[in-house]
Amino acid sequence: MEKKTIWDLNRPDIEQYRHSAKAPVAVVLDNVRSLNNIGSIFRTCDGLGVAELLLCGITATPPSPEIHKTALGAEDSVEWRYFPSAIEAVDYLHEKGYRVMALEQVKGSLSLPDYHPTPGELTAIVAGNEVDGVDQQVVDACDGALEIPQFGTKHSLNVAVSTALAIYQLTLLR
């Protein structure tokens, strides 16, 4: 097998990408500290066609060399905006008709593989801080919570990894 070249992949340029159809999925980052995680999530949002990325609280915003290191330019293609708090972002998404789900381990959460939004339903996920997760007030403002099943001895996944898994699952359902 021969690896594909950049030309074989037939990727759109940034302007074409901005005008292309996106998945009815939005992502909220609630106080994510690591600029590398933020950049990785930008790149995942680009690769999977997320509608928008909302950066909240202490979550850094572009331009940033550290975000760019892992985003590899996705910070220029993904529609993003900043909110002082994740509560404000959740309110904004609710006003736009999104069903907002915390990506968090909470009592009564729904296993990610069992979540089946109706076709075309706008869904947003809120991913939280690397240590504390999604703030409890933000969880309370969400419409529910999604949990990624885990089978090892650790109780959590890296925020960029868990966000990527959730985005992939949600875009597969579309």
CATH for 122: 3.40.1280.10
Supply the range of the domain harboring residue 142: 27-172
Residue 62 pLDDT more than 70? yes
114: pLDDT confidence band, cut at 50, 70 and 90? very high
64 assigned to some structural domain: yes
- Is 3 a domain residue? no
Q: What is the pLDDT of residues 36-60, one digit of tens each?
A: 999 999 999 999 999 999 999 999 9
Asked if residue 163 belongs to a domain, the reply is yes
Using one digit for the tens of pLDDT, what is the confidence trace for 140-161? 999 999 999 999 999 899 999 9
**Does residue 108 fall inside a structural domain?**
yes
pLDDT at 119: 87
- In a domain? residue 21: no
| The two three-digit tokens of residue 14, written as one number | 């940034």
pLDDT attached to residue 75: 97
In a domain, 129, yes or no: yes
- pTM assigned to the model: 0.96
- pLDDT for the residue 173: 67
> Any alpha helices (H) in the chain, and if so which ranges?
14-18, 35-48, 65-71, 74-77, 86-95, 136-141, 159-172
- 147 part of a folded domain: yes
- Decide if 167 is inside a domain: yes
Tell me how many domains the chain contains.
1
Element (H, E) at 55: strand 50-56
d(CA 100, CA 97): 9
